[in-house]
Amino acid sequence: MVFSVIIPVYNRPDEIRELLQSLTTQTFTDFEVIIVDDGSDNPCKLVVESFKEELQVRYFWIENIAQGFARNFGMNLAKGDYFVLFDSDCIIPSQYFEVLDKAIKTRKLDAHGGPDAAEEGFSNFQKAINYSMTSLLTTGGIRGKLKDPSKYQARGFNMGLSKKAFEVTKGFVDPNRGEDIELSMRLKKMGFRLELVEEALVYHKRKNTWQSFFRQSYSFGQNRINVSRYHRDAVKLVHLMPAVFLLGWIMVIGLMVIGYWIPAFSVFLTAGFLVYGLWILAVFVHSTFINKSPWVGFLSVFTAFGQLSSYGAGLITEWVRKVFKG
């Protein structure tokens, strides 16, 4: 058996149904599926069992230990030579494993990460979130398009590693706070070849509300600082840009007050409005063009603004907490 697919899930049986259905359409079929129900009150056992004639699938319910350790649990039971990790809210294109198998063999990969995208049938809000998470104008495109694929840090919604790499690293060392980035960095430092496989994308069907998306973005900022507990080089200049973005528009608001009393500051206020205005226009036009929808472009302005601000706030608050705690 070539691949073992590990999927942790928590109270999302409907998502598991969609994900497993997408796995039944794969053009490369030498894989097993391991579902780890991580302490769910609404387990997906019956859903999984309904696919046993179409897939080599095993189901395990465990006490809640969080997604990183749930993935370790599944990988310890896996029979394949290479382990593939998905989040439960992903839908897998039919040629995923065919593409991945070719990439592993031709590029001699020990591990990989793949991008996420929005499927045509996703809601406008889901498409706007996808834009915010993947665009050059927001995240710098670091989640799926890099000139040097070896610089990619894989994310848990779509990543994988060989059985040997898992046995050496022992998998995730943190339950759910940037554990995927930490493992990516550790794999590379231990000499394993991890690269972005751009063609091995998944459709990420996020079920976020506005509030949950911004809360998640805030936690991503915190997670980046958390990873620096394990790797001192985890935070680079690109990861600080959301904090600069947040502080920048707060400064613009401050200049609106100061400019009222000190007219000389109005030039800085004008510059601030110009910079943020041009960025907002660029996001709207770019997202509209990519998604072929002005409405998605309009929503993208708000998801992108909120995503960057929330990430920046999470990074700053976690950094302050780390400094004062030593």
Dihedral sign for Cα atoms in the order 59, 173, 180, 28: negative
* Contact present, 184 and 274 (Cβ < 8 Å): no
- Write down the pLDDT at residue 142: 58
- SS3 assignment for 182-236: HHHHHHHHCCCCEEECCCCCEEECCCCCHHHHHHHHHHHHHHHHHHCCCCCCCCC
Condensed to tens digits (0 to 9), the pLDDT of residues 94-121 reads 999 999 999 999 999 999 999 999 999 9
Condensed to tens digits (0 to 9), the pLDDT of residues 113-150 reads 999 999 999 999 999 999 999 998 997 655 556 678 98
- Write down the pLDDT at residue 141: 59
Condensed to tens digits (0 to 9), the pLDDT of residues 46-72 reads 999 999 999 999 999 999 999 999 999
**pLDDT band (50, 70, 90) for residue 1:** confident
Beta-bridge mates of residue 111: 161, 194
- Write down the pLDDT at residue 109: 98
- Write down the pLDDT at residue 139: 79
- Write down the pLDDT at residue 100: 98
Domains of the chain by start residue, with CATH:
3-114+152-207 (3.90.550.10), 237-325 (no CATH)
Condensed to tens digits (0 to 9), the pLDDT of residues 270-302 reads 888 999 999 999 999 999 999 999 999 999 999
**pLDDT band (50, 70, 90) for residue 253:** confident
**pLDDT band (50, 70, 90) for residue 83:** very high
Burial of 195 (0-12, 13-18, 19+ CB in 10 A): buried
Please state, in angstroms and rounded to a whole number, the distance separating the CA atoms of residues 206 and 88.
10
- Is the model's pLDDT at 211 over the cut of 80? yes
The token pair at 94 is: 């039919």
Q: Which residues of 59-70 are buried (b: 16+ CB within 10 A; e: fewer)?
A: beeeeebbbbbb
- Write down the pLDDT at residue 267: 75
Quickly list DSSP for 74-126: HHHH--SSEEEEE-TTEE--TTHHHHHHHHHHHHT-SEEE--EE--TTS-HHH
* Contact present, 225 and 322 (Cβ < 8 Å): yes
Give the strand pairing for 111-113 and 158-162: antiparallel
Taking CA atoms, 222 is separated from 134, 161, 289, 293, 318, in Å, by 19, 25, 32, 33, 5
